[in-house]
Amino acid sequence: MSQHRLADLQLAIMQVLWEQGEATVGSVQKALEPNRSLAYTTVGTMLSRLERDGQVTHRVEGRVNVYRAKLPREKVSRSMVSDLAQRLCAGDVTQLVCHLLDDCDVSRDELTAIKKFIRQKEQELSDDK
C-alpha cells in the first residue's frame, strides 16, 4: 500500500474537498474558518503542493482553479492509520486498538460495530485456510 501522509492543514483541506466534491481556493479558505484564519495565498500554496504530490487535481473555470481530491478519503485514511500503527505501536494492531478504546469515548453502538467487524475479519481468516 502506498503511503499518504498528510500534515494537519493538508488533511483539513482534503476534508473540505471530500465534503464539497470540488472547491476553489476561496471556498476552501471560507470552509476552514472560523477554526483557522488563513491567508488566501496560504490555501492556494497548500492546494498547489497537494496537487504536485498527487493528492488533488484541478480544472480551470474561467479565471479560477476548481480543485477536487484525487484520492478517496478511505484510501488516505487507511494509509494514515496503518502508518500511525507502525510508527507508534511497531505495527501492533492490538496495542493500537487498546489505546483507542481506553482513550476515546466509545458508545455501545460503536462497540457493537467493532465486534461485528472483528467477527467478519475472523470469518475471512478462517475462509482463507
Q: Tell me the per-residue pLDDT of 6-60, one tens digit each, with 9 for 90 and over.
A: 788 999 999 999 999 999 999 999 999 988 889 999 999 999 999 999 999 999 9
Domain check: are 81 and 112 in the same one? no
Domain check: are 75 and 108 in the same one? no
Please tell me the pTM assigned to this model.
Answer: 0.74
Q: Residue 65 to residues 12, 40, 84, 117: CA-CA distances in angstroms?
A: 19, 13, 33, 41
Domain check: are 68 and 124 in the same one? no
Residue that is written with C-alpha cell 475471512 in the block: 124
Q: Point out which residues pair with 67 in neighbouring strands.
A: 23, 58
Domain check: are 45 and 71 in the same one? yes
Domain check: are 106 and 78 in the same one? no
Domain check: are 128 and 83 in the same one? no
Task: Judge whether 88 and 96 are in contact, CB under 8 Å.
Answer: yes
Domain check: are 96 and 86 in the same one? no
Domain check: are 17 and 44 in the same one? yes
- Geometric angle at alpha carbon 74, from 70 and 78, rounded to 5°: 115
On average, the pLDDT of the chain sits at 90
Find the CATH number of the domain harbouring 14.
1.10.10.10
Q: Domain tally for the chain? A: 2
C-alpha cell belonging to residue 120: 467478519
Boundaries of domain holding 97? 92-129
Domain check: are 117 and 106 in the same one? yes
